[in-house]
Amino acid sequence: MKVLVTGGAGYIGSHAAQRLLADGHSVVVVDNLSRGHARAVQRLREHARNGDRLGFEHLDIRATDPIETLIREHRIDTVMHFAALTYVGESVEKPLDYYENNTAGSLSLLRACERSWSHAHGGVRRFVFSSTAATYGEPPADRVPIREDCPQNPINPYGASKLMVERMLRDSVAAAARSGSDFAAACLRYFNVAGADHTGLIGEDHDPETHLIPIAIQAAMGKRPGMTIFGEDYPTTDGTCVRDYVHVEDLADAHVTVMQKMTTGTCVAYNLGIGRGYSVKEVIAAVERVTAKPIPVRIGERRAGDPPVLFADPAKIRAELGWSASWTDLERIISTAWEWMRRNPEGYGR
């Protein structure tokens, strides 16, 4: 297949591009580099068996006409869409940035796909959307683990901006079917992504870093004085919040699996995860074991909007597509992140 990977210079997108290349697909990465890293794409090209199958365009998904031209010139048949702003707190402070980038940007991308249906090569027929479990908001305790039929009531602009894209995809698939065009879409929802490429070639590099595992590793490395646990009085085994963690390579594998098994005229949604959660204290203890270093920890106040337990039920994708996570041991997941950060203490360099 010829796949356009938006946000392919970012954390998840670069791992998806790596997997696509390994499977023999042709890949064109589109990224405006506001938060992605050109060096990630460069590393992929340098280490690919055939680097000519990886193209890169420094382009914003809101540029509809150039995106349409790119789709036509590269004869793209599939879009894997990761490009997005993803900080929950920032979305509350700058909601319009999130609606402009995530929602309007996706609208622009879909418009280019729609136009491509008149191209001689047939245009884009498959669209895999990297959504988020934040579209569920704060489900009641009796809906955890979360299934796909859980009501979607996002509590922040980030989740809302992604939910709007899911609706656009459903409507676009229905409209395409009515017009006789072949089009299918999938929305993949997940919580916490962790780990890095097991070869150490690419990994996670955010500025600022907000994810628990890399923050804990940075504290273990002495790159920060310590870390804060926000609340230890939740109704969980050790009083701290419980979340699920899916390895980034499993996430890439799920996107490719869905891409290969899509059915024309359908818009499906799947939750991704390992089917269980780990508490904040369990994660920190696991990082200490992997790194063999102590992590200074202080206890802070609860953060508003932090439910005690959130993790996904991945039973649907397992039953329908045969996909399940292969990285299920927390220390094994953390060890890949540790290896990446140990080898690349400054990430891709700044």
| Catalytic member of 11, 158, 190, 234 | 158
Tell the burial category of 292 from Cβ atoms under 10 Å away from its Cβ (0-12, 13-18, 19+): exposed
The amino acid occupying position 312 is A
- How many residues are recorded in the chain? 350
Q: Please report the DSSP string for 152-167 in residue order.
A: ---SSHHHHHHHHHHH
| C-alpha to C-alpha distance for 56 and 41, rounded to whole angstroms | 8
Task: Determine the Cα–Cα distance for residues 280 and 230; give it in Å rounded to an integer.
Answer: 9
Q: What interhelical angle do 11-22 and 248-260 show, nearest 10? A: 60
CA-CA distances (angstroms) from residue 239 to 138, 229, 235, 324? Answer: 18, 10, 6, 29
**Is 136 designated active site?**
no
Question: Which of 170, 70, 74, 56 has the alpha carbon at shortest distance from 112?
Answer: 70
Contact between 240 and 232 under an 8 Å Cβ cutoff? The reply is: yes
Q: What is the DSSP letter of 312?
A: B
> Which of the residues are catalytic?
158
